[in-house]
Amino acid sequence: MSRTPQTSPLRERRRAARYEIERSLAPHVEEEWAEGFVIELRLLDVPGDVLGAALTEVESHCAESGEKASEVFGDPVAYARSLDLPVQPAGRWDMVTVLGPVGSQVLGMLVLGWGGGAAVDAWRTGAAGATVGLTVGMLLMVVALGVVLLLFARHSSTVLRHILDRPVVSWLVLTLLTGSLGVCAVLLDSEVLVLSAVPVATAGALALVAGTVWSVVQVRQGALDDPVVSPLPVAGEGAGEAADRGARVASSLITWTVPLLALAPLGAAWLFAGP
């Protein structure tokens, strides 16, 4: 007697969360096909309302004919590209709006780690006049951060497509690059400038707080929201709310991850500093 495999409740909840938008807008379309279609149009910078209308057309055809989208429209990526839909025009300040908060946060985290670690260590050991040496490696890390942000802003669709297509390779490349910068920061220890640790830590904290507040304001105002919505009010209502909620949750996680990471070097300096 054969037994039909059953999906665990946890796995089903994860699947429901993953395909929430696809199930709301296109319940008669295969979930994986709809997901690939939506992701590709997002990578092409198609606005959410235009994307929702395109997906609704596929849903209407599949619901009426009973056919599978993969059989009628073929590969979702190729079909999405063939539509030649209008894309979101890039504004002059879009790059600043998107990358400004995270750039300020990461820069603040680095500077706070350098200055704050030295200041905490000096305070714990009773030393006076804590200083931090600005080395060639530190400058290289700051320059690399700026270059990475600029390249990502200019080629974001290409980068994201490679990450989605090859997540393991992308993770290895990112780990290698991060590790290389860390090694360079240690080896290139020639001091360019010696500064007081407290002002350096203060500048880093201000940059970190400014980036965090900037990001929180954006999340609360929905400045970066572009939900996938259907031209049919009833069908698109739940999907729009799901997209908006998911985007806000993801943005909130990113917003508070960097400040938490910034506490790590300060905690290490507090725990492992001499008496």
Residue 195: per-residue pLDDT: 87
Whether this model's pTM surpasses 0.85 = no
Residue 184: per-residue pLDDT: 80
**What SS3 string covers the chain?**
CCCCCCCCHHHHHHHHHHCHHHHHHCCCCCHHHHHHHHHHHHHCCCCHHHHHHHHHHHHHHHHHHCCCHHHHCCCHHHHHHHCCCCCCCCCCCHHHHHHHHHHHHHHHHHHHHHHHHHHHHHHHHCCCCCEEEEEHHHHHHHHHHHHHHHHHHHCHHHHHHHHHHCHHHHHHHHHHHHHHHHHHHHHCCCEEEEEEHHHHHHHHHHHHHHHHHHHHHHHHHCCCCCCCCCCCHHHHHHHHHHHHHHHHHHHHHHHHHHHHHHHHHHHHHHHHCCC
- The pLDDT profile of the chain, 275 residues, written as one tens digit per residue, is 444 455 577 777 777 667 777 888 888 899 899 989 988 888 888 888 888 889 999 999 999 998 999 999 999 999 999 998 888 776 666 677 778 888 888 888 888 888 887 787 777 766 667 888 888 888 888 888 888 888 877 777 787 788 777 888 888 887 888 788 778 877 888 888 888 888 998 999 999 999 999 888 887 776 566 677 767 654 444 544 555 555 556 566 667 777 877 776 666 656 655 55
